Amino acid sequence: MTPNELIAKWRASELKQRSAVQEHFIDLRRLLEEPTPAEADPKREHYRFERGAR
């Protein structure tokens, strides 16, 4: 994903923050050429969205 693709995608989005946050995070990872959470941690042992805090 290029910076211009990211900007165009999210500028056109009408999603609310809560429903877009995970996909936005994944898009940022792609932009930075980093693995997505599912690629980096397929068993979900370390990477979780909305994990409870102590």
Task: Note whether residue 28 is domain-resident.
Answer: yes
Q: How many domains does the chain have?
A: 1
What are the structure tokens assigned to 50, written together?
A: 């909305």
Specify the pLDDT at position 28: 94
Specify the pLDDT at position 34: 94
Q: Which helix (H) or strand (E) holds 3?
A: helix 3-12
Task: Note whether residue 54 is domain-resident.
Answer: no
Per-residue pLDDT of 1-54, as tens digits, reads 899 999 999 999 988 888 898 899 999 999 999 999 899 999 988 877 777 777
Task: Note whether residue 46 is domain-resident.
Answer: no
The whole domain housing 30 covers: 3-40
Task: Note whether residue 45 is domain-resident.
Answer: no
CB 35 within 8 A of CB 21: no
Give the whole-angstrom CA distance, residue 31 versus residue 39: 15
Q: Quote the pTM value.
A: 0.74
